[in-house]
Amino acid sequence: MEPVTQALHAVQLDMLGVKQHADKLLWMFSDHWQNAEKIFAEDIYAAALKTAEEIGVTISVPRQ
């Protein structure tokens, strides 16, 4: 949201650009919320698995 705040404080205010940026952010947040499992699996967990493999660590679920 920082770019939106900066755009609103700019001398040359571009309201259409601010609205488009805010709409894009809202879409991104909504998409991440609706696809949280997929995004976690592809972006976060996959990267963690790759890093663990490179350093020779096995990722496992802690004993409960």
DSSP class of residue 56 equals T
**Tokens found for residue 1:** 């949201």
pTM, entire model: 0.48
Categorize the per-residue pLDDT at 13 as very low, low, confident or very high, splitting at 50, 70 and 90: low
Residue with tokens 């409960």: 64
**Quick check: 59 and 52 in contact, CB under 8 A?**
yes
Q: Write the pLDDT tens digit of every residue in 24-50.
A: 889 988 988 999 999 889 888 999 999
